[in-house]
Amino acid sequence: MLFEYTYKISNRKFKTSKAKAVMLAKKMLPEYVFDMAKMENNPITFPEVQTLMDGVTIGGHKINDVEQVLNIKDAWHCILSDVEDKTFFVAKSYFHKINKIIARNEAIYAGIFRNGSVGIAGTSNYKSPNFENLEKIFTFELPTVMVDFHPVEQAIRLFLWGSLNQFYWDGNKRTARLIANGILLDAGIGVLNIGTTDILEFNTLMVNFYDTLNADEIVKFLAEKAIITLSE
């Protein structure tokens, strides 16, 4: 399922360096993992995320919350490693690969398209596509999502498209966001990250996007607040 927007993503010049983009992402990874977990209402604190990423266990939390943080960390490591090794690519098999990591022990089935219906909390009108159409939607719409756009626009479009279609039982936004980050890192631009102070605004705009299929406001938000470039 595609969507519309009239907002013009800036054509400004970006400093590009794949090596520097990957290096900075690695440096900031605890923050990015924490922010992504917080988007899922995960109660684990930033110092605890740092501890987990250092390979040290923590107590006082549900196993599911700890596993979710570790899955996000592992999925980020996979993206970064594949970008460095020049094996990152945007295709169904890669979506499956990332979802299998990100939704491990969380989804009914991880790493394969859902075979049933899913809902989106907070929406009043939107219904995700019938699971029987997911293969066709992915095959025919992905080229339109990606074709001839600047990598920043590709990343934003792919993230929204993956979130909208809900290809998987769980982890859809996380999966699409990580692959969007692969696009940005592979282009040497930076990352897409929603900080904790922007979560409420992001969630509000996403609900409006689901209900109207008008992406103007969420595209503007992502372009202006969520793309972290090398110069920032």
For residue 202, the surrounding DSSP H or E stretch is helix 199-212
How confident is the model at residue 11, as a pLDDT?
66
pLDDT for 168: 97
The verdict on residue 5 lying in a domain is: no
**Any domain includes 8:** no
| Cβ 119 vs Cβ 128: under 8 Å | yes
Residue 24 contacts residue 185 (beta carbons within 8 Å): no
Rg (CA), the chain: 17
Report pTM: 0.95
- Identify which of 62, 23, 17, 25 has the alpha carbon closest to the alpha carbon of residue 44: 62
Identify the CATH number of the domain in which residue 159 sits: 1.10.3290.10
Domain that holds residue 183: 18-229
- Asked, for residue 110, whether it belongs to a domain, the answer is yes
Both tokens assigned to 1: 């399922």
Domain count, the chain: 1
Q: Is residue 4 part of a domain?
A: no
40 part of a folded domain: yes
Look up residue 196 and give its two tokens.
């904790």
Spatial distance between the Cα atoms of 49 and 37, rounded to a whole number of angstroms = 9
Query: What are the structure tokens assigned to 8, written together?
Result: 């013009």
Residue 96 lies in a domain: yes
List of residues 6+ apart from 106 with CB closer than 8 A: 64, 67, 68, 71, 170, 171
Question: Is 10 a domain residue?
Answer: no
103 in a domain, yes or no?
yes
Per-residue pLDDT of the chain (232 residues; tens, 9 = 90+): 789 999 888 766 788 999 999 999 999 999 999 999 999 999 999 999 999 998 888 888 899 999 999 999 999 999 999 999 999 999 999 999 999 999 999 988 999 999 999 888 888 788 899 999 999 999 999 999 998 889 999 999 999 999 999 999 999 999 999 999 999 999 999 999 999 999 999 999 999 999 999 999 999 999 999 999 986 5
Long-range CB contact pairs, 129-132, < 8 A, 24+: 129/1, 129/165, 129/166
Render 147-166 in DSSP notation, one character per residue. TT--HHHHHHHHHHHHHHHT
